[in-house]
Structure 1
Amino acid sequence: MARQQMTQTLSQLDARYTWAIASLDRDPHEIFRKHRPMTPLLKREDGVYIAIRAADVEALITDPRTRQLETQLARARGVVDGPLLQFMANTLLLSNGVQHRQRRAPLAKAFAFDLMTELRPRVRSIAEQLIDQHYRRGAMDFISDFANWLPARVICAILGVPESDIPDFTRRVYSLARALSSSFSQEDVPELQRVSGELISYVHDLLEDRRLRPREDFLTSYATALDGSETLSNVEALVQIVTLLLAGSDTTRGALAIQTSLLLEHREQWNAVCKDSTLIPGAVLECLRYEPSVASFARVTVDDIALDGVMLPRGHIVSLSTLSALRDPSVYADPDKFDIRRTDHPRRHLVFGGGVHRCLGETLAKIELQEALAALSERLPNLELDGGPAIVHGSGGIRSVRDLRVRWAA
């Protein structure tokens, strides 16, 4: 009887709470706000379920009845071979169990808390150099002139990648990021295949160069460790570096642009940061909450899961919406208010995920966002929008951010 009731409730969900991706992308906050009190789940037109309540999102991230996607979404989009499938089948981001541990382990030391903390002065220096390059102009395209470069230069410093390669690898990385959005379409596949292949080939050449000409850098130690180990296959080894280039640049790039846009839209809060640098950590956390660059994490159910009387059926993709959870009134007071002095942030920010898949670069991302804001507010207190705010698009996965110009009195 209980199962029958669950099934009936699911049928009602299909009929009443199914949304087109385009509609969700147009106004996700309003849709989630309206439905959060009525249902724990929405359903997309492509069959993906969306968990929209904070408690469910947090629980499902580590629920053993769910697993990472592996290649399920890729195959559903018709990707059955090629470098895109290689990337999605081998990246630690989408893997489970032993495979995930083996792929993550060689990278963890490079992103240890103490090492990242030591990078803080370097990050600040890079931010100030980028400001210096454009200072006399009194204006810049914030994304192409600043946000693209800061995380890319930092990840280059960590791995030992030549900075001269930044324009090429970031262009490909920012394109490949669409593969980590659960709404990418079959029309995107040809380009994603191409950039996946180019990035894998690029990393192959980097590691071969380190084998021939060793240096004091992460790539050299990584190549040496691989040569003495049979834990990772050759393609797994390449894909993890591609993953670091992607994860170490794209999401922070978007977060930098969103953070700057939000603060300049809320002028009194920008001015407060300029006057009091102790507000910076809280401002970073609030920007990540209010408009996250990562809108959701995707999982696959391996068993039926009951959520407040609604059955989330086994064998389906569920999108765990950070976008919705981070404005859930059960967690945050007045959640649709942007407030850098907010005191109700949980100890572990949900935008970085949870469990064994919690973001490897969390400490680094926070440092980059904090030091960028410190440099901008100190050097350019009269910074202002030169046009409208940044355009942030997407209701799932990594969101796209574009069109942010700024100016100042030089």
Structure 2
Amino acid sequence: MAGSPHTAAPADLALVPRAELEADPHAVLARHRAAAPCIRTDDGVVMLLRARDVQALVTDPRTRQVETEFARARGITAGPLYEFFRQTVLLSNGEVHRRRRAPIARTFAFQVVAALRPRIRAIAEGLVDEHRSRGRMNLLADYAAPLPARAIAMILGLPEEDVPAFTAWVYAMSRALTSAWGPQDYPEADEAAHRLMTYVEDLVAERRRAPRDDLISALLPSIAEDDPDAAAEARMQIVSLIVAGSDTTRAALAIQAGLLLAHPDQWEAVRRDEALIPGAVAEALRFEPAVGSFPRFALAEIPLEGAVLPAGALISISTLSAMRDPALYADPDVFDIRRTDHPRWHVVFGGGVHRCLGEALARIELEEGLRALTRLPDLRLERPLTVRGSAAIRRVEELPVAWVVG
């Protein structure tokens, strides 16, 4: 992330180039975590490293979620992509955050989402059956991408044939939320934001003419026809659901499969015993998370053990580092699906009022996605799993897999 006039980093912290972090994030974070609670990066961010501090500050009232500062720090100051940053529930605080979150929160309650499990299982099994006779696929593009996209389409009432188009827009937009963002990405991301917003606006208009039994229709009362600004904000939460429901779970699905297939004994254990699936999902989310950090601002000076976060610091709360912290996990660099020391509230989903709204849905998609893959005989990697990124949304390279047909 580029620097911003609101960012202040303590001068005595170790300065770590972002390029060094990107090259080998786990090793770099482990080395610095042992010496200090935080580092500063050469793009103006203070990165919080230790599990104890990460767990505390994610709900600390002396911090707040970043808002449009995130966009401005990346040179995004106007246009559709900026409007997404300005109006999304993902980057808001206080009463504004409550107003944006409330209409959609009930749909993603644990009990409500649990009832969707059979339909999500059917989507996962259907995808496996689509590719079974081929004997190979790109697990990221052919399986991990369409599964959560089809699930969010089902919930919102989007036509399945629209999935390729809206996921392409999502992937272009969400690049602005990764540590790999550069000015060259702006034109495509801005155009994608425009297309996705127009798509949602058209869907809302269509549901007004002919309501259905879906989430968009259920949200119509909260989309004020006589207040264009309020209506645009309400529609943006539908855009936010499409973005959040399509991208990070795509990466997490590919990561968990890649990790398990790289540990054949644990893959075979999961194939033999479905009761191990939730633990396998939790461990994959810990060991190689799809989201590496949460951005926050320090509203006041915050003392830590060995450092002080100054007021106004732009903070990267590093889940990537916290979930490899030996103070929280035994043997944190060992991938172990039978691990028993996971905290009750998984660190990867954040905490407090900003805890991931789609946590229950993501867990079900990951569990059912893994269960369906175990039906493919002798499934194997054709290329090792590669996950890149030291913060925010991380990136997964193509993951070709093959299996025995017959």
| Superposition TM-score tier, normalisation by shorter sequence | over 0.9
Deviation at 1:183, TM superposition (A): 5.3
Kindly report which structure 2 residues correspond to 1:15-54, keeping only aligned pairs within 5 A, or say none.
17-54=14-51
Kindly report which structure 2 residues correspond to 1:3-402, keeping only aligned pairs within 5 A, or say none.
10-13=10-13, 17-181=14-178, 184-227=181-224, 233-377=230-374, 379-386=375-382, 388-402=383-397
AA aligned opposite 1:343: T
How many residues align? The count is 397
62 and 232 in structure 1: CA distance in 2 versus 1, 3 angstrom threshold: farther
409 and 252 in structure 1: CA distance in 2 versus 1, 3 angstrom threshold: same
Contact 2:223 2:235 in 1 (8 A): no
Deviation at 1:229, TM superposition (A): 9.1
Alignment RMSD (CA, Å): 1.6
> Matches of 1:86 and 1:11 in 2, distance apart?
34
Q: TM-score, normalised by structure 1?
A: 0.94
Contact 1:102 1:232 in 2 (8 A): no
Structure 1 residues 230-255: Cα deviation after superposition (integer angstroms, max 9, x where no partner) = 79712211211111001111110000
Deviation at 1:390, TM superposition (A): 2.3
AA aligned opposite 1:399: R
Q: Identity over aligned residues, as a percent?
A: 53
Deviation at 1:110, TM superposition (A): 1.1
> Matches of 1:231 and 1:288 in 2, distance apart?
40
> Matches of 2:328 and 2:77 in 1, distance apart?
41
Cross-structure match for 2:4: none
Contact 2:330 2:341 in 1 (8 A): yes
* Structure (1 or 2) with the greater helix fraction: 1
Q: Which runs of 5+ in 2 are unaligned?
A: 1-8
19 and 172 in structure 1: CA distance in 2 versus 1, 3 angstrom threshold: same
AA aligned opposite 1:66: T
AA aligned opposite 2:404: A
Quick check: 214-223 or 354-363, which moved more? Answer: 214-223
Q: Which runs of 5+ in 1 are unaligned?
A: 1-8
> Matches of 1:323 and 1:381 in 2, distance apart?
33
SS at match of 1:233: helix
Structure 1 residues 259-288: Cα deviation after superposition (integer angstroms, max 9, x where no partner) = 000000001100011111111110000000
AA aligned opposite 1:406: V
> Matches of 1:229 and 1:269 in 2, distance apart?
57
Deviation at 1:182, TM superposition (A): 5.1
SS at match of 2:357: coil
Contact 1:21 1:183 in 2 (8 A): no
> Matches of 2:282 and 2:230 in 1, distance apart?
38
Contact 1:84 1:192 in 2 (8 A): yes
> Matches of 1:59 and 1:187 in 2, distance apart?
36
> Matches of 1:149 and 1:182 in 2, distance apart?
24
Runs of 4+ in 1 over 3 A off after TM superposition: 227-232
> Matches of 2:108 and 2:228 in 1, distance apart?
20
Contact 1:200 1:242 in 2 (8 A): yes
Deviation at 1:189, TM superposition (A): 2.1
> Matches of 1:145 and 1:233 in 2, distance apart?
38
> Matches of 2:372 and 2:75 in 1, distance apart?
45
Task: Select which of 383, 401, 405 maps to 1:406.
Answer: 401
SS at match of 2:335: coil
Contact 1:172 1:195 in 2 (8 A): yes
Deviation at 1:19, TM superposition (A): 1.7
SS at match of 1:319: strand
SS at match of 1:12: coil
Structure 1 residues 91-140: Cα deviation after superposition (integer angstroms, max 9, x where no partner) = 01110000000000000111121121111111111111101111111111
Cross-structure match for 1:4: none
Structure 1 residues 364-384: Cα deviation after superposition (integer angstroms, max 9, x where no partner) = 10011111111111x114100
Deviation at 1:163, TM superposition (A): 0.8
SS at match of 2:39: strand
Quick check: 214-223 or 148-157, which moved more? Answer: 214-223
> Matches of 1:229 and 1:353 in 2, distance apart?
36
Deviation at 1:316, TM superposition (A): 2.1
Contact 1:92 1:103 in 2 (8 A): yes
Deviation at 1:224, TM superposition (A): 3.2
Cross-structure match for 1:6: none
